């Protein structure tokens, strides 16, 4: 669909907001350090962290598609939530089946 720039912007926006979201979900335990691993978070916080980043990515992606002018869909929030839930489930499955390297 020639939308590589949309995906790049959405991914960059998610990466930019990553530390702020991590600080929000981890609170006082958060230390801005280089050796942080997502595996250190409890399961619920990990799921909320992943879901919020996915929602930011999908929402900004769908908003950019609407602003493009070729696709106009009134249910952008519905599409964002459904695609975010599906992507979050895939991420959680990946984390459960990936072997942890220590």
Domain boundaries along the sequence of the chain: 4-97
Q: Does 22 have pLDDT greater than 70? A: yes
Q: Does 97 have pLDDT greater than 80? A: no
Q: Does 20 have pLDDT greater than 60? A: yes
Between 47 and 33, residue with greater pLDDT: 47
Mean pLDDT score of the chain, rounded to an integer? 77
User: What three-state secondary structure class fits 59?
Assistant: helix
Residue 41 CB coordination number (10 Å): 19
Start-end of H helices in the chain: 4-26, 43-68, 76-97
Q: Which letter does DSSP use for residue 74 in this model?
A: T
């Amino acid at each position: 669909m020639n939308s590589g720039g949309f995906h790049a912007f959405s991914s960059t926006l998610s990466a930019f907001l990553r530390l702020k979201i991590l600080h929000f979900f981890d609170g006082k335990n958060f230390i801005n350090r280089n050796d942080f691993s997502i595996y250190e978070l409890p399961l619920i916080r990990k799921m909320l962290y992943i879901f919020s980043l996915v929602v930011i990515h999908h929402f900004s992606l769908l908003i950019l598609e609407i602003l493009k002018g070729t696709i106009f869909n009134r249910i952008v929030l519905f599409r964002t939530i459904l695609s975010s839930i599906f992507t979050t489930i895939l991420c959680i499955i990946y984390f459960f089946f990936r072997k942890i390297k220590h």
